[in-house]
Amino acid sequence: MTGLIRMVEKELKVSRKELIEEGVKRFLEVQLRNVSIEIAKLSGRYGVSSFDELWDKLEAGEVTESACFDDLTKLEYLELEKEKVVRLLRKAVLCDA
């Protein structure tokens, strides 16, 4: 991989620092998009927009625990992952400012 970085640095006349920073930002953007898609799929299955809304439906008896437990757990995990990615992406953008 280091050889590829050197080659891109040389061919495009871009610094290693800039190349790595831009690569990390793009990686985070892709991660955010992928996590958001997964959240939308799970949320859409139950007509909710968040873990909290699905939890409310569970408590209200609109869905059963056996029907949604795995999705509820996954949705909670994905929302936490999304928060992490958003936080890191904001830091990456602020570093450019």
- Give pLDDT tens digits for 8-63: 999 999 999 999 999 999 999 999 999 999 999 999 999 999 999 999 999 999 99
On whether residue 2 sits in a domain, the answer given is no
On whether residue 35 sits in a domain, the answer given is yes
On whether residue 84 sits in a domain, the answer given is yes
On whether residue 62 sits in a domain, the answer given is yes
Domain count across the chain: 1
Q: Is 66 helix (H, G, I), strand (E, B) or coil?
A: helix
Euclidean distance between CA atoms 84 and 28, whole angstroms? 10
What contacts 48, CB < 8 A, 6 or more positions away?
54, 57
On whether residue 28 sits in a domain, the answer given is yes
On whether residue 49 sits in a domain, the answer given is yes
Question: Where in the sequence is the domain holding 72, given as residue range(s)?
Answer: 22-96
On whether residue 43 sits in a domain, the answer given is yes
